[in-house]
Structure formats: C-alpha cells, structure tokens
Amino acid sequence: MRAAVYGTTGGPDAIEIAEIDKPEPGLIGIRIKVKAAALNFTDLAALSGYYPAPPEGSRYGLGWDIAGVVDAVGPGAPWEPGQPVIALSYGVPMGLHRAHAEYAVVPSYAIAPAPEGVDPIHAATLPLNGLTAAQAVELLGIRPGQTVLVTGAEGAVGGYAVQLAKRRGAVVIASGRSADSEFATKVAGADAYVSTAQAPVEAVRAVRPEGVDAVLDATTLGQSLMGAVKDGGTFVTARSDAVPRAERGIRVRLTQVAADAAMLTTLSDLAASGELALRVANIYPLEEAAKAYERLAAGGLRGRVVLTMD
C-alpha cells in the first residue's frame, strides 16, 4: 500500500510516498481503508525534528485523523467490514503505520461510526481536534451560566471548544486573530469576541469586568491570560509549552488528547445533526502530501488541510 513517510527530519520536503506492507488488524484491531485524513501541526513538529528522528535506515508515518471504511477486523473486534468510520491514529508521533496511508489499523477504543450524511473529507477533520476540545471542556467543569474565555476560537480546537462550551450552557467569550470573528460568533455561537491584537486581560475585562470563571487556552498565551480569571477559577491549556503558574486559587490543568470511542461517537452524532461545524480549507491527493504540509505550514487557514487516498 502507499503511505506518506519520512526518513529524515527537516520539513515537508522530507516526505516521500512509499510502498509499505499493509498492516494486519491482530486480535482486537480494526483495519480501515482510509478515504481521507486531515493534517495536524503535531506532524509538522515531527517533521521539523521536535520528536526523535527515525533510526537510520527506517521511516515513520504521519497523520492522526482517519475517515474511511472498515476493511478487516480481528476476532475480538466488534465491527464489520464495510462500516463507515472515523478514528484516531493515537500514540506518540513515531512509527510507520499512521493515518496518511491507504490503510491503517486502530484499536476498538479509538474508532466511532462516521457521521451520517457527512462526506469523508469533512469527517476526517473531527477526531484529534474534536477530542482535544471535548476533553478540555470536560476539564473546565463549567456550569450553565458561567463565563468561559476560549482562545484560538477561529482555529480547529478552539472552534470546536466554543461550540461544545455553548452546549454546556456557558457564556463564551471567544478570542482570536481574525478581525471579523465571522466563524467564532456567527457559526460557533460565541457571545462576544476579542481580538488578540488587544492586550488580553484588558480586552476580556472590558467585556466582563469581574473576570471569567474559566479559560480554555488553545494557543500559547498562557500566563498572560491569568489576570482575566476570577479568584478560584479554572485554567485549562492544550499546550504543554504554555502552562501558566497557579495563583489566587486558580486551578491549572493541562489536557493531552486520549482516544475515547464513546466521546468520539458523541462528536460524530453532533456533526451528523449539524450541531458541530466541520471546516475544510484545502484538499490534496496523497501523492501531494509534501505540498499539503507546505500549505499547512504557511498558515492563514480557515479550516483544515485534508489528504484523499482515492
């Protein structure tokens, strides 16, 4: 089968499309014929050398997000060939068999039914960023009527987080780089929007003078946002390189995505019902994976970059 792999680090130019062995599902695994797979900045970090490079003479694969069809199952897996699914190719970003390939194997706890009525290209944008946002919102522990600041609200994780926090009954202040806040307010449903061009604490307190009950930081603003949180509030970050120091009784939490079939199924149902917006910016065939990663690295996207395998 064909797969996007890299044997050296440096950037998107290290990617090659290679023929590798088709993975076997094993006892409880599910092999998926991949239809589409979204790109993530984690893989850009791997390509740049943030993680250990492949040992000399070996190669690693790329990709976390999968949308496709069940191709084969292990004897202990509760799935049937032909079922449309989405899945998270979970684990450290090292290893050969990942999402950017014609076939991928995942365990049963990392897979969910694909959202009905949604094409694989859009469905592929959901697993990694949707789960990260959902698990971060869980850590917030918010109650209806409480106020949450979500940074990076025009991006993938932040955009999902705004929508999920609103479903919890929160009052959401969104923050982002966009000058028009078109997505955060009109699509995701944020109650207010502040631009990162402003000083963050002053901008938030201009909207909410008493401060917010919680912050979900999907960017690297970290410590600079602590002044916007009420005493005894909660601060959740998705970035291990931007964990702020606790102060004034504020609980600080770091979320690191975990595979969760039940939560992914809920997200799939929300996408199918139109309650969770899925955004695609660019589509490339697998053969143009290097070009796709160059586009991701260039930034300025309103939506995800997705590879197709057909």
List pLDDT tens digits, range 238-296: 888 889 999 999 999 999 999 999 999 999 999 999 999 999 999 999 999 999 999 99
Burial class (CB in 10 A: 0-12, 13-18, 19+), 191: middle
Q: Where does the pLDDT of residue 123 fall: very low under 50, low under 70, confident under 90, or very high at 90 and above?
A: very high
Residue 92's pLDDT is what?
64
Amino acid in position 173: I
- Decide: 87 and 110 in contact? Cβ < 8 Å: yes
Instruction: Please give the share of the chain, as a percent, with pLDDT higher than 70.
Output: 98
H or E, element range at 204: helix 200-207
Over residues 11-18, the mean pLDDT reads: 95
User: Which residues belong to CATH 3.40.50.720 in the chain?
Assistant: 129-254
Range list for CATH 3.90.180.10 in the chain:
2-126+278-308
CA angle, 136 then 34 then 21, to 5°: 115
Where helices occur in 15-96 by DSSP H, the ranges are 41-48
Q: Which fold has domain 2-126+278-308?
A: Quinone Oxidoreductase; Chain A, domain 1 (3.90.180)
Average predicted confidence (pLDDT) for the chain: 94
pLDDT tier at 179, thresholds 50, 70, 90: low
Instruction: Compute the distance between CA of residue 64 and CA of residue 68 in angstroms, rounded to an integer.
Output: 13
- pLDDT at position 130 is 97
The answer to which of 52-61, 175-184, 228-237 has the lowest mean pLDDT is 175-184
DSSP 8-state assignment for residue 101: B
Q: Which token pair is 44? A: 């850009």
Contact criterion met (CB below 8 Å) for 43 and 93: yes
Q: Report d(CA 286, CA 1) in Å as an integer.
A: 12
pLDDT tens-digit readout, 187-214: 999 999 998 888 889 999 999 999 999 9
Q: Which CATH superfamily is domain 129-254 in?
A: NAD(P)-binding Rossmann-like Domain (3.40.50.720)
Give the phi and the psi of residue 240 in degrees, each rounded to 5: -70, -20
pLDDT in tens, 130-161: 999 999 999 999 999 999 999 999 999 999 99
Alpha-carbon distance of 136 to 105, in angstroms, equals 26
Q: Could you give the CA distance from residue 59 to residue 56 in angstroms, rounded to a whole number?
A: 8
3-state secondary structure of 187: coil
Q: Give dist(CA 306, CA 310) in Å, integer.
A: 13
Largest CA distance in the chain: 59
Q: Are strands 29-38 and 304-308 parallel, antiparallel or unpaired?
A: antiparallel
Q: Compute the average pLDDT of residues 169-183.
A: 86
Cα separations in angstroms, 221 against 71, 82, 130, 150, 172: 43, 44, 21, 11, 18
Q: pLDDT class for 227, splitting at 50, 70, 90?
A: very high
Q: Looking at residues 55-82, what average pLDDT do you find?
A: 93
Q: Over 90: is that where the pLDDT of 50 sits?
A: no
